[in-house]
């Protein structure tokens, strides 16, 4: 029997919040030299991503992407390079260009080189008409430009799968909470910033109202969900391949503040909602992830108490 093909992975947007954690885990699984980290930004000295190959890459440069895939003999791409909701509302043209153009680049490269692709979606695909406990299948009418680009991304994945047989998959990520790399440009960033502020200043000005409730997930769960989805046999991947709902937990901003106050003496928080409140209000409180559970066995592990302990421990290192 021929030896199974080695897995060699390319990650776009590798220096971002998800990329930093995902590259570390992929390198642990496949060996440092088999995971090519790429980003539009120069590699700083102080990141874990320095322990293996790194190349500068714009996700819009399909030719350069194709060359790197051939040079490093890549078998799958994790496409994390994207503009998030807040930056997307500030610069809608750039958001459409990077998010839609980048996904097309990756899918074209995958089609031409027979690669598997992971391209994440988001809870931002939902809009104000979505039930507050968001079903897997429901009309997608987001109000943010970012959300619209994520709907387009899901449609592109389905199109490349049906027309060209490209095995592309995605999750609708909730707000992600992690300590290794800062979040940036997103609405759910308050759930990360608050920990840094609590430990460094003892105070946080939160930009959403205390009763704002959103779907959230700890990064360790998100990385596990990503890899479980990608490693599942193709026969287990159903109609939701482009954007599986995955639930972690849901909490209000006030519940998060209270949980941190229990662990950080003297922590205070003011609520000063700004325009980001509108984006949060357009998203559901929680998601129904029955399809992910049924198709490939998804189950979250982190509750709020475990997240708070883990964030405080990680940031205190």
Binding site for ligand AKB (CB under 6 A): 84-85, 122-124, 146, 173, 175, 186-188
Residue 2 DSSP class = P
Measured from the Cβ of residue 283, the count of other Cβ atoms closer than 10 Å reads 30
The question of whether 173 is a catalytic residue gets the answer: no
DSSP label at residue 132? S
Question: At its nearest, how many Å lie between ligand AKB and the CB of residue 40?
Answer: 18
Give the nearest distance from C-beta 165 to ligand AKB in angstroms: 28
Task: Tell me whether residue 144 or residue 240 sits nearer to ligand AKB (CB atom).
Answer: 144
Cβ 229 vs Cβ 22: under 8 Å: no
Q: Are the beta carbons of 38 and 10 closer than 8 angstroms?
A: yes
User: What's the rounded Cα separation, in Å, for the pair 228 and 295?
Assistant: 11
Q: Which of 156/183 has CB closer to ligand AKB?
A: 183
Task: State the catalytic residue, choosing from 72, 118, 146, 302.
Answer: 146
Exposure pattern of 133-144 as b/e (b: 16+ CB <10 Å)? ebebebebebbb
Instruction: Work out how close the CB of 19 gets to ligand AKB at its nearest, in angstroms, rounded to a whole number.
Output: 14
DSSP 3-24: PPPPP-EEEESTTSHHHHHHHH
**Closer CB to ligand AKB, 146 or 218, in the complex:** 146
> Looking at beta carbons, which residue is closest to ligand AKB?
186
| Least gap, CB of 197 to ligand AKB (angstroms) | 18
The 3-state DSSP class for residue 185 equals coil
Closer CB to ligand AKB, 34 or 121, in the complex = 121
Q: Which residues are catalytic?
A: 146
């Amino acid at each position: 029997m021929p030896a199974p093909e080695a897995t060699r992975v390319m990650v776009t947007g590798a220096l971002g919040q998800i990329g930093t954690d995902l590259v570390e885990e992929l390198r642990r699984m496949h060996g440092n030299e088999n995971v090519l980290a790429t980003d539009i930004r120069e590699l700083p000295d102080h990141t874990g991503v320095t322990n293996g190959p790194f190349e500068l890459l714009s996700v819009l440069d399909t030719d350069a992407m194709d060359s790197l895939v051939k040079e490093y003999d890549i078998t799958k791409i994790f496409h994390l390079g994207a503009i998030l909701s807040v930056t997307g509302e500030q610069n809608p043209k750039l958001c459409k260009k990077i998010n839609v153009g980048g996904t097309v680049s990756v899918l074209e490269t995958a089609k031409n080189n027979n690669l598997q692709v992971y391209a994440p979606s988001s809870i931002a695909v939902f809009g104000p008409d979505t039930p507050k406990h968001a079903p897997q299948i429901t009309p997608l009418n987001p109000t943010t430009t970012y959300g619209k680009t994520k709907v387009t991304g899901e449609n592109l994945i389905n199109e490349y799968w049906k027309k060209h047989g490209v095995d592309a998959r995605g999750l609708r990520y909730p707000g992600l909470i992690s300590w290794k790399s800062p979040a940036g440009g997103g609405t759910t960033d308050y759930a990360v910033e608050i920990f840094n502020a609590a430990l460094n200043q003892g105070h946080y000005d939160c930009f959403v109202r205390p009763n704002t409730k959103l779907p959230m997930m700890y990064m360790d769960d998100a990385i596990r969900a990503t890899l479980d989805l990608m490693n599942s046999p193709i026969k287990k991947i159903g109609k939701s391949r482009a954007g599986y709902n995955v639930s972690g937990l849901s909490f209000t901003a006030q519940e998060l503040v209270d949980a941190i106050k229990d662990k950080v003496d003297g922590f205070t928080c003011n609520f000063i909602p700004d325009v980001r409140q509108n984006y949060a209000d357009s998203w559901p409180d929680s998601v129904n992830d029955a399809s992910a559970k049924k198709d490939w066995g998804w189950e979250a592990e982190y509750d709020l108490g475990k997240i708070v302990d883990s964030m405080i421990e990680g940031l205190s290192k």
